[in-house]
């Protein structure tokens, strides 16, 4: 379901507007520019990131317009000429846009969004492109790490109350679902996106009653077919689990119902889950699931399982919804070319920091797959008019250490950037969230285990074609002082 949409046209950096006015006054209204979004580093030292946020970016672009209130605000700044304000009043988005589909693994340095169009328009959308893709890609990437650490056990996103604002909670839940979580505690994300809303009770439910067992009885009577009890309000082993077992026998079994589970939210969960598992099994409830929560992340989950924790599901909150270990994705948006007299003129940003030197030109992005295993071999960035012929061997090389070369054989090549807009009209049918989530799992599975490990992952190569590399070298030599 499409979420309720606000007019977010003015959610932009102010310098996008001052530059737009400057472009207007200097006669650049019809100048066509090419911009790329890319990122420089995978969060948490990981081997790959997950693309997310494309739907929100698309919805923003479809609704770009300046209201009379926006025009009045800009006029009040006394910075912009009336002709420019009239241009904004008649503003119509006419750009071409390409992006990597949501759910696909992406790597540093490669264009994951490309915009071509009049420079005022292509520049203006920078802020919302970065905001949409940076945030959701960050959370989807973190969620995928946590889901992989859980080794097939369900992970639920429980972070709404710790997110950075309501928008972070809603879109964070969406991104976490793409990354592999099975559901969310956020009810509005269920309403607007169809993400299963999950949850049981807080400790306050237990405390409200005179005693724990009465609280359990009341909940079991209210929800006999989905009864999960929070057992750590007082003592997991001495009261929580024993009282839960009593209520299961008293309330659920006579109705022909089975308990859904118990949740442990504090203490040494590895130890407590082992104790609880034995108690439940001995009482005849081997099918009762044990859920763990309380400031979990991929490393804690991994260690718990190594140490023998008997946990079936995980509820992960603050460290997922904020990606607290590394809360910035770091995507950037840079000019790569302009059109002049019908020609594409490449542009480059040079820096003494090598990682900040950009790749010029209008480009394509390819992924090479091994035909036998189906695993991804490398990504290659080419000029827009190049085609990788996978019917014959193709040489790839490291653009920084050019002596590192490899002849790739028995492979097939896929273009990763798909068209979203042509001349401002959407031409892309957005898949539903379930399709994106399944696609993500499928695409992550094309990566070798060496790339997906948490510590010191194998570097996945993103190479340049020979022609693109030569063009970059030419521009670098022109701008060396």
Can you spell out the DSSP letters for 168-181? Answer: HHHHHHHHHHHHT-
* Paired residues of 313 in beta bridges: 154, 291
What is the per-residue pLDDT for 400? 85
List Cβ neighbours of 276 (8 Å cut-off, separation of 6 or more).
231, 236, 237, 241, 262, 264, 290, 310
Determine contact, residues 243/213, Cβ cutoff 8 Å. Answer: yes
CATH 3.20.140.10 residue ranges for the chain: 14-139+327-478
As a whole number of angstroms, the distance between CA 301 and CA 264 comes to 14
**Residue 1 pLDDT > 60, yes or no?**
no
**pLDDT for the residue numbered 353:** 85
pLDDT tens-place string over residues 403-421:
999 999 999 999 999 999 9
CATH class of 140-321: alpha beta
Q: Which residue, among 271, 317, 310, has the nearest Cα to 293 in the 3D structure?
A: 317
**CATH of span 14-139+327-478:** 3.20.140.10
Helix crossing, 82-89 with 14-25: angle to 10°?
110
> Is 50 exceeded by the pLDDT of residue 87?
yes
Note whether 146 and 307 are within 8 A (CB).
Answer: no
Pairing between strand 343-346 and 363-370? unpaired
pTM over 0.85: yes
pLDDT band at 96 (very low <50, low <70, confident <90, very high): very high
Instruction: State the distance between the two ends of the chain, measured CA to CA, in whole angstroms.
Output: 54
Task: List Cα–Cα distances, 136 to 147, 335, 419, in angstroms.
Answer: 16, 23, 20
Task: Quote the pLDDT of residue 4.
Answer: 46
Residue 481: pLDDT band (50, 70, 90) is low
Cβ-contact 288, 312 below 8 angstroms: no
Spatial distance between the Cα atoms of 377 and 38, rounded to a whole number of angstroms:
20
In angstroms, the CA 293 to CA 161 distance is 14
**pLDDT at 318 > cutoff 90:** yes
Mean pLDDT across 449-474:
96
Place of tokens 């028995």: 410
| pLDDT level of residue 5 (50, 70, 90 thresholds) | low
Mean of the per-residue pLDDT values for the chain?
96
Gyration radius of the chain's alpha carbons: 26
Please, where in the chain does CATH 3.20.20.70 lie?
140-321
């Amino acid at each position: 379901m499409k979420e309720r949409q606000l007019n977010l046209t003015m959610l932009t950096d102010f310098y996008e507007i001052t530059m737009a006015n400057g472009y207007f006054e200097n006669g650049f209204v019809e100048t066509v520019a090419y911009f790329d979004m890319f990122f420089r580093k995978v969060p948490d030292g990981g081997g790959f990131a997950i693309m997310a946020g494309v739907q929100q970016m698309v919805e923003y672009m479809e609704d770009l317009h300046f209201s009379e209130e926006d025009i009045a605000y800009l006029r009040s700044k006394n910075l912009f000429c009336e002709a420019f304000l009239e241009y904004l009043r008649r503003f119509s988005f006419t750009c071409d846009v390409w992006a990597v589909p949501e759910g696909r693994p992406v790597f540093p340095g490669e264009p994951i969004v490309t915009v071509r169009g009049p420079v005022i328009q292509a520049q203006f959308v920078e802020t919302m492109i970065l905001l949409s893709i940076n945030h959701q890609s960050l959370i989807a990437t973190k969620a995928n790490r946590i889901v992989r650490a859980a080794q097939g056990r369900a992970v639920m996103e429980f972070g709404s109350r710790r997110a950075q604002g309501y928008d972070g909670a809603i879109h964070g839940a969406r991104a976490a679902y793409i990354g592999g979580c099975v559901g969310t505690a956020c009810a509005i994300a269920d309403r607007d996106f169809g993400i299963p809303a999950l949850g049981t009770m807080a400790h306050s439910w237990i405390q409200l009653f005179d005693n724990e067992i009465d609280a359990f009885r009341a909940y079991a009577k209210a929800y006999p077919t989905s009864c999960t009890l929070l057992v750590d309000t007082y003592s997991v082993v001495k009261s929580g689990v024993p009282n839960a077992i009593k209520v299961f026998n008293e309330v659920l079994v006579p109705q022909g119902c089975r308990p859904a589970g118990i949740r442990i939210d504090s203490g040494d969960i590895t130890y407590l889950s082992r104790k609880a598992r034995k108690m439940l099994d001995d009482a005849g409830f081997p099918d009762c699931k044990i859920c763990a929560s309380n400031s979990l992340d991929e490393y804690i989950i991994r260690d718990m399982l190594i140490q023998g924790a008997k946990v079936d599901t995980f509820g992960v909150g603050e460290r997922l919804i904020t990606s607290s270990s590394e809360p910035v994705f770091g995507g950037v948006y840079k000019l790569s070319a302009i059109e002049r007299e019908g020609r594409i003129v490449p542009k480059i940003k040079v820096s003494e920091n090598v990682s900040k030197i950009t790749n010029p030109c209008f480009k394509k992005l390819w992924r090479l797959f091994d035909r036998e295993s189906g695993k991804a071999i490398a990504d290659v960035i080419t000029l827009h008019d190049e085609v990788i012929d996978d019917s014959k061997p193709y040489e790839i090389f490291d653009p920084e250490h050019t002596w590192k070369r490899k002849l790739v054989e028995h492979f097939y090549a896929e273009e990763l950037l798909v068209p979203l807009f042509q001349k401002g009209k959407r031409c892309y049918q957005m898949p539903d969230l379930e399709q994106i989530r399944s696609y993500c799992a499928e695409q992550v599975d094309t990566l070798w285990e060496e790339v997906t490990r948490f510590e010191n992952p194998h570097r996945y190569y993103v190479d340049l074609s020979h022609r693109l590399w030569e063009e970059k070298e030419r521009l670098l030599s022109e701008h060396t002082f």
